[in-house]
Every structure is written in structure tokens, then in C-alpha cells.
């Protein structure tokens, strides 16, 4: 599982007391533990819409919570199991650490604090267009629906859709093609209920390659659609 070096996590704490804020009325039992999560930026601003999951290593069951405006959520998990903790970065599930939850008479509340600033740019995977056109192909739906869901979870987020091409064709035609493709993604998201004021579409043509255009593999990497976070 891919790890991101930009993350800075506060210590993981095991406490035998009640959470003093949003989950103060939720108490652990002999069969269930309480898992509280706090997510913030490095400057301390709460992160809304962060999806945190704990997956049982035995049953493979997934227990998930989504942080509110205060960057907090509570997840109730069965005791006496081992878990893997994940957080979601757009379509990626990123492993954070393993967690062993004791059972029996151990009644515990876990407090988990994450403090991080994610990358501001990422490439949308599996977004495809007809050759030489700005027509989205059906197989792009999954990736674009996932992006729409993230934007719904994070109502303050504003993004730029950046279209890029390889160096085949003229510079002028590539700028137009990349701009039209970026706009096609923008329109798709608007049709899925995202406010158009939150999305800017720009085309960069062949001006920002990430690989060598002298190879087919490099050209394929350069034909990409990026999401650039303007505000979160």
C-alpha cells in the first residue's frame, strides 16, 4: 500500500476514559471498543469529510466513519480483534498502522489524532476519452463518481481540472483539446450535483510533460487529467 511522506501524525494514545467531546456519551463495553478520530491540517484546522476505516484482519469486516465539520468522528468496533487502520485519499485507501484491540474485561476508548496536509495535485486514474476528442468514455464513470463523492464530503473544497496531452499535433490544437477535455470533466461533476463555482477547468496541452514524449509509454503518461486543489 502506498504511503505518503507528507503526513505528520500525532502520537497514538490508548486511554481508559470517556471522550470529552462529541462522543462523551458513548462508553466501551466488554464486546465493543470506542475509536475516536480527530483530523486536522498541520496548522490545526479541522478536516471535514475524511473517511477513516478499520478493517478486521480476521473477519475482513470494515468499520468506517466520516469526520464532520469539527474534523471528528467516532467508530464502534468489536473487541478482541486485530485491525488495520486506513484513511482515504480520493480513490486510494492508505494504510496507517495495525491495531490490536483486547477483549474480555478490557473496556477501552482509543483516541487517534491525525495532523497532515495532503498533496495539492494528483492524477485521476482511469479517465479516458475518445481518440482526438473530448468525449468521455463510459469506463471513466467509476473514477469520476469517486471524485464527485469526495467533493460532496468536502463542501469547502475547490478544485482545478487540468487537462494535458502528449506532443502529437500542433501546440494550438493540443491546448484546445486539453481544455475541452477538462471542461468535459467539469460538466460531468456539475451533472452529479457539484456546484460549478467550485470547479475550474484549464487546458495545458503539451506544456507540462511528466515523461519523455519520445516513447509510447511516456506519451501515455503525458495524456492525463489532473485535479489541483485550490482550497480545502
pLDDT digits (tens, 9 = 90+) for 72-102: 999 999 988 999 988 888 878 888 888 888 8
Query: Stretch 160-170: mean pLDDT, rounded?
Result: 96
Domains of the chain: 7-116 (2.60.130.10), 121-231 (3.30.1330.60)
Quote the mean pLDDT of the chain. 86
pLDDT winner (highest mean) among 98-102, 103-107, 127-131: 127-131
User: And the C-alpha cell for 166?
Assistant: 502528449
User: And the C-alpha cell for 41?
Assistant: 491540517
The predicted model scores a pTM of 0.77
Range in 13-17, 66-70, 125-129 the model is least confident about: 13-17
Question: What are phi and psi for residue 8, nearest 5 degrees?
Answer: -130, 110
Please give the pLDDT value at position 88: 86
Residue 23, pLDDT > 70, answer no
Please give the pLDDT value at position 62: 95
Residue 4, pLDDT > 50, answer no
Q: Are 74 and 37 in contact (CB under 8 A)?
A: yes
Amino acid at each position: 500500500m502506498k504511503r505518503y511522506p507528507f503526513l505528520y501524525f500525532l502520537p497514538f494514545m490508548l486511554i481508559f476514559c470517556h471522550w470529552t467531546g462529541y462522543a462523551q456519551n458513548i462508553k466501551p463495553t466488554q464486546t465493543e471498543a470506542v475509536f475516536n478520530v480527530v483530523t486536522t491540517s498541520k496548522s490545526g484546522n479541522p478536516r471535514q469529510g475524511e473517511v477513516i476505516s478499520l478493517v478486521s484482519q480476521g473477519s475482513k469486516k470494515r468499520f468506517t466513519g466520516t469526520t464532520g465539520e469539527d474534523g471528528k468522528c467516532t467508530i464502534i468496533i468489536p473487541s478482541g480483534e486485530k485491525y488495520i487502520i486506513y484513511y482515504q485519499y480520493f480513490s486510494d485507501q492508505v494504510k496507517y498502522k495495525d491495531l490490536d484491540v483486547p477483549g474480555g474485561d478490557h473496556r477501552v476508548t482509543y483516541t487517534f489524532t491525525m495532523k497532515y496536509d495532503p498533496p495539492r495535485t494528483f492524477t485521476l486514474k482511469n479517465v479516458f476519452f475518445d481518440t482526438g476528442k473530448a468525449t468521455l468514455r463510459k469506463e471513466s464513470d467509476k473514477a469520476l463518481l469517486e471524485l464527485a463523492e469526495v467533493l460532496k464530503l468536502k463542501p469547502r473544497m475547490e478544485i482545478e481540472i487540468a487537462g494535458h496531452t502528449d506532443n502529437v499535433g500542433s501546440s494550438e490544437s493540443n491546448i484546445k483539446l486539453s481544455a475541452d477535455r477538462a471542461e468535459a470533466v467539469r460538466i460531468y461533476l456539475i451533472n452529479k450535483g457539484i456546484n460549478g463555482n467550485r470547479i475550474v477547468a484549464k487546458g495545458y496541452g503539451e506544456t507540462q510533460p511528466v515523461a519523455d514524449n519520445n516513447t509510447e509509454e511516456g506519451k501515455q503518461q503525458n495524456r492525463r487529467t489532473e485535479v489541483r486543489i485550490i482550497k480545502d
